[in-house]
Chain A
Amino acid sequence: MTGWAGPRTGSHAWMNAVNAWLLLLPAAVLLVAFTHYPVLATIRSSLFVARRNGTQVFAGLDNYRAMFDDAIFWKALGNNIWFAFGTVPTSIALALLMALWVNRNIRGRGFLRLAYFTPTVLPMIAVANIWLFFYTPDYGLLDQLRALAGSPGWNWLGDPRTVMVCLIVMVIWKEAGFFMIFYLAALQQIPPDLNEAAAVEGAGRLYILRRVTVPLLMPATLFIAINAVINSFKLVDHLVIMTKGGPNNASTLLLYYIYEVAFTFQDSAYAATLTVVLVVILSALALIKFGYFDRRIHYQ
């Protein structure tokens, strides 16, 4: 390790530590204030109930019991899982495909890369606006195409059966290009002689892909997968202007429900309870990521 380690004992060590902590201080203050403290405060809030006159009453696990009985909570959680399963595998597969193509010497690959990556730099709100128009019944673009094909119009976002699929498609559109970049980085780290060696031995492209490339990309795939799942829990911007969680909570997600409960219904105790669930889920994912990955990276 480079860097000046400095003495570890004696008064010099003490000065050393003080200097280090001073440097850390600004970042530490903000991190504690807006990450660590809120996590603890949220857990605490979830154990209380706020009375109308402003006081807080210790309620133990009451909020959690109410949450277990809350059909909307379960729906939101289910939707999040549905959402993760819908967006992550497909975006990853598409991202891999895109990366493979862009990595080759295909004509116009600059344009390809541009086309695939552009949705990533757009704000989700703008994406939602654009797709909201596509999905508008009757004169939205999608229904116009259906009219050309002779099918009747469809209330894409207003039908609980199709709303999740529509939102998933939109999110895949936005995210696949982002993941493509990680695959590109990983692809470029694969030594070219590996492929050449395999080709010399007569292996077909598909075979190389299956037996060589994909396994080598496994770390990248897992990395992207975890990130994608974490992202899917945080992405709720589109709900605010597209469906507001409807129809009948068919498209609501946990973070959006938290926003609704906290700011529209002003029930901060219950919102804290829901947030605890979200934090637990994210922490579990974090453990998987760091527990698993740290080990893998060490052995690479």
Chain B
Amino acid sequence: MNQRTTILEVATAWVLAFLWIAPLAYALWSSLHPAAFATSFSLSAPWTLENFARAWHQAPFGRYYLNTIMLVSLILAGQLVLSTLAAYAFVHFKFRGSGIAFALTLLQLMIMPDVLIVENYRLISKLGLLDTIPAIALPYMASAFAIFLLRQTFKSVPRELIEAARVEGAGALQILWRVYVPLARPTYVAFALVSVSYHWNNFLWPLIVTNSVESRPLTVGLAVFGAPETGVDWSVINAATVMTMAPLLIAFLIFQRQFVQSFMRAGIR
């Protein structure tokens, strides 16, 4: 673009950016200073990690971290495997009913497990899996979104490579592993980032399906922690909030470009 941007525009963009970052900056500020300075912004306020220490002791955040990491890993692993196989089936094989199967798969893009909480809860309890991490993960492991993305990516694999592999005597699964998967790496990375972001931050379903500390992820832990009944000490609550957001936030800050590109790629249909 050759036309110059007016100063006014630049200023507006910056003001908006500051407004946008303000709430987060506030939470950080409040968590790093003693409670008395929660609402006053003097520059000479002492820095302290005490809020974090108190939050850490008031609730088992270490366990919550572990649970959340296990949860997103489990979900991602399941999603990658299942959707790779499914997308491969749709792309590499022509079989009767594949159109209908694919259309049915896409249903999940609209009607996600998040809205079917009542029935899904019933099913999970019938399976006897209540209050476990797999219980949170199961409804999400078959990801229509991932299947959709991978199918698109797989479709663009050059025919020559497939032929070449087949000539070498590779079976169907080997073709998948040696040709399709490596070429789809950018899609995998993009999807992984989107999936981890989504499931790290997921709340309602884990809230319903978990009861105890052993399976509770960070988001539910934060909600239970921040329940004002236990005392409305905003500095400590903000410290807990920061702890919940921190890993994703730090990952985002370091891998900004990858995050943005992942979401972009995921958005291009």
Direct contact of A and B (CB under 8 A): yes
Residues of A within 8 A of B (CB): 1-6, 8, 13, 16-17, 19-21, 23-24, 26-31, 33-39, 41-42, 45, 97-98, 101, 103-108, 110-127, 129-131, 133-134, 139, 141, 144, 173, 177-178, 181-182, 184-185, 192, 195-196, 199, 205, 223, 230, 233-234, 236-237, 240-241, 255, 258-259, 262-263, 268, 271-272, 275, 278-279, 282-283, 285-286, 289-290, 293, 297
Choice from B106, B116, B249 contacting A275 with Cβ under 8 Å: B116
Bound state CA distance, A33 and B17, in angstroms?
44
Bound state CA distance, A104 and B81, in angstroms?
40
Are A114 and B256 touching (Cβ within 8 A)?
A: yes
Given the known interface contacts A19-B172, A26-B142, A121-B197, the answer about A130 and B241 at a Cβ–Cβ threshold of 8 Å is yes
Given the known interface contacts A236-B204, A240-B207, the answer about A2 and B119 at a Cβ–Cβ threshold of 8 Å is no
Q: Which residues of chain B come closer than 8 Å to A37, judged between CB atoms?
A: 119, 123
Are B253 and A114 touching (Cβ within 8 A)?
A: yes
Q: Which residues of chain A come closer than 8 Å to B49, judged between CB atoms?
A: none
Number of interface residues of B (CB under 8 A): 104
Q: Which residues of chain A come closer than 8 Å to B10, judged between CB atoms?
A: 106-107
Q: Which residues of chain B come closer than 8 Å to A144, judged between CB atoms?
A: 39
Bound state CA distance, A17 and B94, in angstroms?
8
B105 beta carbon closer than 8 Å to chain A: yes
Are B106 and A126 touching (Cβ within 8 A)?
A: no
Given the known interface contacts A23-B85, A125-B223, A241-B223, the answer about A104 and B5 at a Cβ–Cβ threshold of 8 Å is yes
User: Given A123-B244, A133-B30, A259-B204, 16 other A-B contacts at CB below 8 A?
Assistant: A16-B95, A19-B89, A23-B85, A27-B83, A28-B86, A33-B123, A37-B123, A117-B259, A122-B245, A123-B219, A126-B241, A192-B1, A223-B267, A234-B114, A234-B115, A275-B119
Give chain B's interface secondary structure class: helix
Are B85 and A130 touching (Cβ within 8 A)?
A: no
Q: Which residues of chain A come closer than 8 Å to B18, judged between CB atoms?
A: 115
Q: Which residues of chain B come closer than 8 Å to A237, judged between CB atoms?
A: 203-204, 219
Q: Which residues of chain A come closer than 8 Å to B81, judged between CB atoms?
A: 26
Given the known interface contacts A115-B20, A282-B111, the answer about A2 and B101 at a Cβ–Cβ threshold of 8 Å is no
Bound state CA distance, A236 and B202, in angstroms?
11
Q: How does the 8 Å CB contact mask read for B81-119 relative to A, with 1 for contact and 0 for none?
A: 111011011111111101001001111111111111111
B57 beta carbon closer than 8 Å to chain A: no
Question: Closest CB-CB distance, B33 to chain A, in whole Å?
Answer: 14
Are B13 and A106 touching (Cβ within 8 A)?
A: yes
Are B118 and A282 touching (Cβ within 8 A)?
A: no
Are A16 and B3 touching (Cβ within 8 A)?
A: no
Question: Closest CB-CB distance, A111 to chain B, in whole Å?
Answer: 7
Q: B217 — nearest CB in chain A belongs to which residue?
A: A123
Are A34 and B116 touching (Cβ within 8 A)?
A: yes
Given the known interface contacts A19-B172, A129-B238, the answer about A272 and B118 at a Cβ–Cβ threshold of 8 Å is yes
